[in-house]
Structure 1
């Protein structure tokens, strides 16, 4: 684990140095990324100029959902988002090159073309989250759960990135399928899940547990009742779900690597 982190940092440092060769371009990309991602929340703000609540949640509470999901997703995207191009690496023969290097394979894939400019997405979501937090009636347990939520949600998104990307071991041109669960998962969890039918909420609890990204913890932090009436301890299960998904993602990755057959590129 420690060796993998060190190797990742070394590879990432090389890509950061390369990006510094064009400082103006890098700065424009950072600013542009910040503004583009900010448009998402501007859309939510405009929506609330016409409604007082969304699924029983006001603007500040939706901002809390948006911020927790956005920060977690952006961190995951920064560190492992590159794996979404696994199929492209396989098709171009770059994955074969990585196989013979003395560096953990998953580390190489995730650190490839590391782009520090993606930090702008973290900053934008963190600003929204910070603003939303000023409206929360804080207690020690709520602070603790908020921190756990962001950490667990990050792990959940990392697991989704890795697990869904592995589909490309068998169907090389299927990056969009993975994106539907990663980027789509971020979009869905940015809103109150009460806007969906209860059946959808159950699917996101027991089948694809996106509800544990921030929904159940946010019910506790924001003082809302669970619409499905589940026990209160459900709101603290995100770290457990994150750990389970991480294990599943690593197992799927190992199966994918073992079943991989070179394209001959």
Structure 2
């Protein structure tokens, strides 16, 4: 994992848990915006997601994702300022799963486009699910065109391999089980300020399920924001400046509620 220090005195530590099929380097712009705004940032590559492992099918356990997220949060807790977790896609689902089952010391949680119910599945997956071998390779068929309209975020080639969405059958089966158990868990996450953001034109997930899930939570403070014309990767869209300002406003309000003096 890596740490970036704020420009000046840090107001909080932001822990970023990234999505499946990517690595932390995709968040360079967001990391820089957070630093400029006075936040330390801790993030890293989920197991199996570092660039050095490019070309290997994903076969990591979901327990390893949870353990890595907890390690990053523990690293943030060593600082003398509040820890706020920002998690996207599958990373958001990992954090929901953790907060349903464990107490995590964080001052707030920001989740975007959580993988609770996918609308994009591997081609012909439903018909082969029962006979899919755990070691068999399977391409989820995710492309950058599905994730963002931002041309600067797309590589020169637009093949699924650029997103590294090749997985094993065992991994995808565990993914479906992981999402189902997280979505259907009737226990609320622990009571921390929560911001849920989705894209109105998300091609990966069923955003209606994310909204329903949030409404079932027993929380003192929560916000839901659907960015009407945005795709799945809201922090990479052409409108990402607006998304960041909305996110920063939430963080500042969390810090004010803890007694911090925030200067705009």
**TM-score strictly above 0.5:** no
> Which structure has the higher relative contact order (CA within 8 Å, separation 6+)?
1
- TM-score (norm: length of structure 2): 0.27
